[in-house]
Amino acid sequence: MKKCAVLGDPVGHSLSPVIHRTAYDAWGLDWEYDAHRVEAGGLADFLDGLDPAEWRGLSLTMPLKREAVPLLDSADDWVRVSGAANTLLLEPDGTRRGLNTDVSAALELTEGLDVDTALVLGGGATAASMLLALAEHGLERATIVVRDPARATETVRVVTSHRPVQLDVVTFEDLPTTVVVADLVVSTIPVTAQTPDVVASTMDAAHVFEVVYDPWPTPVAAAAERSDRPVTTGLDLLMAQAVHQVRAMTGRDDVPVEEMRRAAVEQLESRVDRAPGQREVQDE
Protein backbone atom coordinates (compact mmCIF):
# COMPACT_ATOMS: atom_id res chain seq x y z
CA MET A 1 0.00 0.00 0.00
CA LYS A 2 1.15 3.52 -0.82
CA LYS A 3 0.02 6.72 0.87
CA CYS A 4 -0.76 10.05 -0.77
CA ALA A 5 -2.38 13.21 0.56
CA VAL A 6 -3.30 16.83 -0.01
CA LEU A 7 -1.63 19.38 2.28
CA GLY A 8 -2.63 22.96 2.99
CA ASP A 9 -4.36 25.36 5.33
CA PRO A 10 -7.32 25.25 5.14
CA VAL A 11 -7.68 21.80 3.64
CA GLY A 12 -10.69 20.09 5.19
CA HIS A 13 -12.92 21.18 2.30
CA SER A 14 -10.61 19.79 -0.40
CA LEU A 15 -12.11 17.63 -3.15
CA SER A 16 -8.74 16.03 -3.86
CA PRO A 17 -9.29 13.00 -1.59
CA VAL A 18 -12.52 11.96 -3.30
CA ILE A 19 -11.03 12.59 -6.75
CA HIS A 20 -7.85 10.58 -6.19
CA ARG A 21 -9.60 7.79 -4.26
CA THR A 22 -12.06 7.37 -7.13
CA ALA A 23 -9.15 6.65 -9.47
CA TYR A 24 -7.66 4.15 -7.01
CA ASP A 25 -11.02 2.39 -6.60
CA ALA A 26 -11.55 2.19 -10.36
CA TRP A 27 -8.22 0.43 -10.70
CA GLY A 28 -8.60 -1.75 -7.61
CA LEU A 29 -5.48 -0.06 -6.26
CA ASP A 30 -4.91 -0.48 -2.52
CA TRP A 31 -3.68 3.09 -1.94
CA GLU A 32 -4.66 5.75 0.60
CA TYR A 33 -5.25 9.45 -0.01
CA ASP A 34 -6.06 11.78 2.88
CA ALA A 35 -6.05 15.48 3.76
CA HIS A 36 -3.60 16.94 6.28
CA ARG A 37 -3.64 20.49 7.59
CA VAL A 38 -0.15 21.94 7.31
CA GLU A 39 0.30 25.59 8.18
CA ALA A 40 2.73 27.99 6.54
CA GLY A 41 6.24 27.18 7.70
CA GLY A 42 5.34 23.60 8.61
CA LEU A 43 6.03 21.74 5.38
CA ALA A 44 9.68 20.85 6.04
CA ASP A 45 8.84 19.17 9.35
CA PHE A 46 5.94 17.30 7.79
CA LEU A 47 8.12 15.98 4.97
CA ASP A 48 10.87 14.95 7.35
CA GLY A 49 8.39 12.71 9.14
CA LEU A 50 7.41 10.72 6.04
CA ASP A 51 8.78 7.28 5.18
CA PRO A 52 9.42 7.17 1.38
CA ALA A 53 8.84 3.42 1.50
CA GLU A 54 5.22 4.17 2.45
CA TRP A 55 4.53 7.55 0.85
CA ARG A 56 4.33 8.32 -2.87
CA GLY A 57 2.83 11.73 -3.56
CA LEU A 58 1.48 14.97 -2.12
CA SER A 59 -0.86 17.55 -3.58
CA LEU A 60 -0.01 21.04 -2.31
CA THR A 61 -2.42 23.92 -1.99
CA MET A 62 -2.33 27.27 -0.21
CA PRO A 63 0.00 28.31 1.44
CA LEU A 64 2.59 25.66 0.53
CA LYS A 65 3.17 25.89 -3.23
CA ARG A 66 6.10 28.28 -3.01
CA GLU A 67 7.30 27.00 0.36
CA ALA A 68 7.87 23.57 -1.22
CA VAL A 69 10.38 24.64 -3.86
CA PRO A 70 13.57 24.90 -1.73
CA LEU A 71 12.71 21.50 -0.20
CA LEU A 72 12.92 19.69 -3.56
CA ASP A 73 15.80 17.67 -4.99
CA SER A 74 14.52 17.99 -8.57
CA ALA A 75 11.70 19.73 -10.38
CA ASP A 76 9.96 19.98 -13.72
CA ASP A 77 10.37 22.98 -15.99
CA TRP A 78 7.22 24.74 -14.78
CA VAL A 79 8.31 24.59 -11.16
CA ARG A 80 11.62 26.18 -12.14
CA VAL A 81 9.87 28.89 -14.13
CA SER A 82 7.02 29.59 -11.71
CA GLY A 83 8.81 29.12 -8.41
CA ALA A 84 5.86 27.06 -7.20
CA ALA A 85 5.00 23.36 -6.96
CA ASN A 86 1.54 21.90 -6.43
CA THR A 87 2.72 18.28 -6.64
CA LEU A 88 5.49 16.57 -4.70
CA LEU A 89 6.65 13.04 -5.52
CA LEU A 90 8.55 11.02 -2.92
CA GLU A 91 10.94 8.71 -4.75
CA PRO A 92 12.05 5.33 -3.34
CA ASP A 93 15.56 6.66 -2.68
CA GLY A 94 14.14 9.41 -0.47
CA THR A 95 14.54 12.26 -2.94
CA ARG A 96 11.72 14.71 -3.62
CA ARG A 97 10.59 15.81 -7.07
CA GLY A 98 8.27 18.75 -7.63
CA LEU A 99 5.78 19.34 -10.44
CA ASN A 100 3.52 22.23 -11.31
CA THR A 101 0.44 20.65 -12.83
CA ASP A 102 -1.46 23.93 -12.38
CA VAL A 103 0.39 25.41 -15.35
CA SER A 104 -0.04 22.25 -17.41
CA ALA A 105 -3.78 22.25 -16.69
CA ALA A 106 -4.13 25.98 -17.42
CA LEU A 107 -2.34 25.51 -20.74
CA GLU A 108 -4.87 22.88 -21.74
CA LEU A 109 -7.90 24.86 -20.63
CA THR A 110 -6.84 28.11 -22.34
CA GLU A 111 -5.78 26.46 -25.60
CA GLY A 112 -7.58 28.13 -28.48
CA LEU A 113 -8.68 31.23 -26.57
CA ASP A 114 -7.91 34.51 -28.32
CA VAL A 115 -6.47 36.47 -25.40
CA ASP A 116 -4.25 39.51 -25.88
CA THR A 117 -5.26 41.21 -22.63
CA ALA A 118 -6.40 39.90 -19.25
CA LEU A 119 -7.65 41.07 -15.87
CA VAL A 120 -6.34 38.86 -13.06
CA LEU A 121 -7.94 39.12 -9.64
CA GLY A 122 -5.35 38.02 -7.08
CA GLY A 123 -1.58 37.82 -7.32
CA GLY A 124 -0.48 34.55 -5.74
CA ALA A 125 0.85 31.23 -7.03
CA THR A 126 -2.30 30.24 -8.92
CA ALA A 127 -2.48 33.65 -10.59
CA ALA A 128 1.15 33.19 -11.66
CA SER A 129 0.37 29.77 -13.14
CA MET A 130 -2.55 31.19 -15.10
CA LEU A 131 -0.49 34.11 -16.40
CA LEU A 132 2.34 31.80 -17.46
CA ALA A 133 -0.11 29.67 -19.42
CA LEU A 134 -1.70 32.69 -21.07
CA ALA A 135 1.73 34.09 -21.91
CA GLU A 136 2.51 30.83 -23.71
CA HIS A 137 -0.61 31.42 -25.80
CA GLY A 138 0.34 34.99 -26.73
CA LEU A 139 -0.85 37.22 -23.89
CA GLU A 140 0.52 40.73 -24.36
CA ARG A 141 -0.76 42.67 -21.34
CA ALA A 142 -2.52 41.98 -18.04
CA THR A 143 -3.74 43.94 -15.05
CA ILE A 144 -3.24 42.21 -11.69
CA VAL A 145 -5.51 43.35 -8.86
CA VAL A 146 -4.41 42.78 -5.25
CA ARG A 147 -4.94 44.25 -1.81
CA ASP A 148 -1.25 45.10 -1.46
CA PRO A 149 1.00 45.52 -4.53
CA ALA A 150 3.81 43.75 -2.68
CA ARG A 151 1.74 40.56 -2.85
CA ALA A 152 2.15 40.48 -6.62
CA THR A 153 5.91 41.07 -6.71
CA GLU A 154 6.90 37.42 -7.13
CA THR A 155 4.19 36.76 -9.70
CA VAL A 156 5.30 39.74 -11.78
CA ARG A 157 8.91 38.59 -11.57
CA VAL A 158 8.34 35.01 -12.69
CA VAL A 159 5.99 35.93 -15.54
CA THR A 160 8.04 38.79 -17.00
CA SER A 161 11.23 36.73 -16.67
CA HIS A 162 9.62 34.05 -18.82
CA ARG A 163 7.83 36.08 -21.49
CA PRO A 164 7.74 39.81 -22.43
CA VAL A 165 4.27 40.48 -21.03
CA GLN A 166 3.34 43.94 -19.76
CA LEU A 167 1.92 43.56 -16.26
CA ASP A 168 0.21 46.40 -14.42
CA VAL A 169 -0.56 46.04 -10.71
CA VAL A 170 -3.43 47.93 -9.08
CA THR A 171 -5.19 47.63 -5.74
CA PHE A 172 -8.83 46.70 -5.20
CA GLU A 173 -9.28 50.18 -3.75
CA ASP A 174 -8.13 51.77 -7.01
CA LEU A 175 -9.95 49.33 -9.31
CA PRO A 176 -13.19 51.35 -9.69
CA THR A 177 -11.24 54.28 -11.19
CA THR A 178 -8.90 52.15 -13.28
CA VAL A 179 -9.55 51.71 -17.00
CA VAL A 180 -9.16 48.00 -17.68
CA VAL A 181 -9.24 46.42 -21.13
CA ALA A 182 -9.42 42.64 -20.95
CA ASP A 183 -10.38 39.79 -23.27
CA LEU A 184 -10.34 37.40 -20.32
CA VAL A 185 -10.93 37.67 -16.57
CA VAL A 186 -9.12 35.26 -14.26
CA SER A 187 -10.46 35.30 -10.70
CA THR A 188 -8.51 33.60 -7.91
CA ILE A 189 -10.09 35.52 -5.02
CA PRO A 190 -12.72 34.35 -2.51
CA VAL A 191 -16.37 35.23 -2.89
CA THR A 192 -16.08 37.59 0.06
CA ALA A 193 -13.71 39.75 -2.00
CA GLN A 194 -15.96 39.76 -5.08
CA THR A 195 -17.69 43.04 -4.31
CA PRO A 196 -20.04 44.86 -6.70
CA ASP A 197 -17.14 47.07 -7.83
CA VAL A 198 -15.01 44.02 -8.56
CA VAL A 199 -17.82 42.32 -10.48
CA ALA A 200 -18.43 45.51 -12.46
CA SER A 201 -14.80 45.56 -13.58
CA THR A 202 -15.22 42.12 -15.18
CA MET A 203 -18.28 42.82 -17.28
CA ASP A 204 -16.57 43.75 -20.57
CA ALA A 205 -14.43 40.61 -20.80
CA ALA A 206 -15.54 38.05 -23.38
CA HIS A 207 -14.57 35.05 -21.22
CA VAL A 208 -14.25 34.37 -17.49
CA PHE A 209 -11.96 31.84 -15.81
CA GLU A 210 -13.16 31.42 -12.22
CA VAL A 211 -10.70 29.43 -10.12
CA VAL A 212 -13.04 29.15 -7.12
CA TYR A 213 -15.41 26.17 -7.35
CA ASP A 214 -17.14 26.19 -3.97
CA PRO A 215 -19.51 27.89 -3.41
CA TRP A 216 -20.82 28.05 -6.98
CA PRO A 217 -21.55 30.22 -8.77
CA THR A 218 -19.39 33.01 -7.46
CA PRO A 219 -20.54 36.60 -8.05
CA VAL A 220 -18.05 36.96 -10.94
CA ALA A 221 -19.18 33.70 -12.55
CA ALA A 222 -22.87 34.45 -12.01
CA ALA A 223 -22.52 37.83 -13.71
CA ALA A 224 -20.84 36.17 -16.69
CA GLU A 225 -23.53 33.51 -16.95
CA ARG A 226 -26.32 36.11 -16.81
CA SER A 227 -24.75 37.90 -19.77
CA ASP A 228 -24.21 34.65 -21.71
CA ARG A 229 -20.43 34.83 -21.56
CA PRO A 230 -18.51 31.53 -21.37
CA VAL A 231 -17.06 30.53 -18.00
CA THR A 232 -14.23 28.09 -17.34
CA THR A 233 -14.70 26.80 -13.80
CA GLY A 234 -12.45 26.05 -10.90
CA LEU A 235 -13.65 22.47 -11.06
CA ASP A 236 -12.36 22.32 -14.64
CA LEU A 237 -8.94 23.46 -13.41
CA LEU A 238 -8.97 21.17 -10.38
CA MET A 239 -9.84 18.14 -12.50
CA ALA A 240 -7.29 18.91 -15.22
CA GLN A 241 -4.42 19.30 -12.75
CA ALA A 242 -5.57 16.25 -10.76
CA VAL A 243 -5.39 14.06 -13.87
CA HIS A 244 -1.73 15.04 -14.24
CA GLN A 245 -1.14 14.36 -10.55
CA VAL A 246 -2.75 10.92 -10.63
CA ARG A 247 -0.65 9.96 -13.64
CA ALA A 248 2.54 11.18 -11.99
CA MET A 249 1.86 9.48 -8.66
CA THR A 250 0.68 6.11 -10.00
CA GLY A 251 2.49 5.87 -13.32
CA ARG A 252 -0.77 4.97 -15.08
CA ASP A 253 -2.16 6.70 -18.17
CA ASP A 254 -5.67 5.17 -18.15
CA VAL A 255 -7.01 7.78 -15.75
CA PRO A 256 -10.80 7.43 -15.18
CA VAL A 257 -11.53 11.11 -15.76
CA GLU A 258 -15.31 10.88 -16.07
CA GLU A 259 -15.66 8.85 -12.87
CA MET A 260 -13.38 11.27 -11.00
CA ARG A 261 -15.36 14.32 -12.10
CA ARG A 262 -18.66 12.65 -11.29
CA ALA A 263 -17.44 11.89 -7.78
CA ALA A 264 -16.29 15.49 -7.31
CA VAL A 265 -19.65 16.88 -8.46
CA GLU A 266 -21.54 14.51 -6.16
CA GLN A 267 -19.35 15.59 -3.24
CA LEU A 268 -20.04 19.26 -3.96
CA GLU A 269 -23.76 18.64 -4.20
CA SER A 270 -23.73 16.88 -0.84
CA ARG A 271 -22.26 19.88 0.97
CA VAL A 272 -25.41 21.43 2.31
CA ASP A 273 -24.06 22.99 5.51
CA ARG A 274 -20.61 24.09 4.37
CA ALA A 275 -19.24 27.47 5.44
CA PRO A 276 -19.45 30.09 2.66
CA GLY A 277 -16.27 30.95 0.84
CA GLN A 278 -14.41 27.68 1.41
CA ARG A 279 -12.55 26.32 -1.55
CA GLU A 280 -9.50 24.50 -2.82
CA VAL A 281 -7.47 27.46 -4.02
CA GLN A 282 -6.94 30.80 -2.32
CA ASP A 283 -4.18 33.21 -3.25
CA GLU A 284 -5.25 36.49 -1.72
pTM check: above 0.85: yes
CA–CA dist 19, 265 (Å, integer): 10
Residue 229 phi/psi, 5-degree rounding, is -95, 140
- Domains (ranges, CATH) in the chain? 3-100+237-269 (3.40.50.10860), 104-234 (3.40.50.720)
CA–CA dist 69, 191 (Å, integer): 29
CA–CA dist 51, 63 (Å, integer): 23
**55-60 and 207-210 as β-strands: parallel, antiparallel, unpaired?**
unpaired
CA 99 to the chain's CA centroid: 13
Q: How confident is the model at residue 274 (pLDDT cuts 50, 70, 90)?
A: low
Active site residues: 65
Average pLDDT over residues 117-122: 98
Average pLDDT over residues 119-143: 97
pLDDT for 210-256, tens place per residue?
999 999 999 999 999 999 999 999 999 999 999 999 999 999 999 99
pLDDT for 5-28, tens place per residue?
999 999 999 999 999 999 999 999
pLDDT for 70-98, tens place per residue?
999 999 999 999 999 999 999 999 999 99
- Per-residue pLDDT at 271: 83
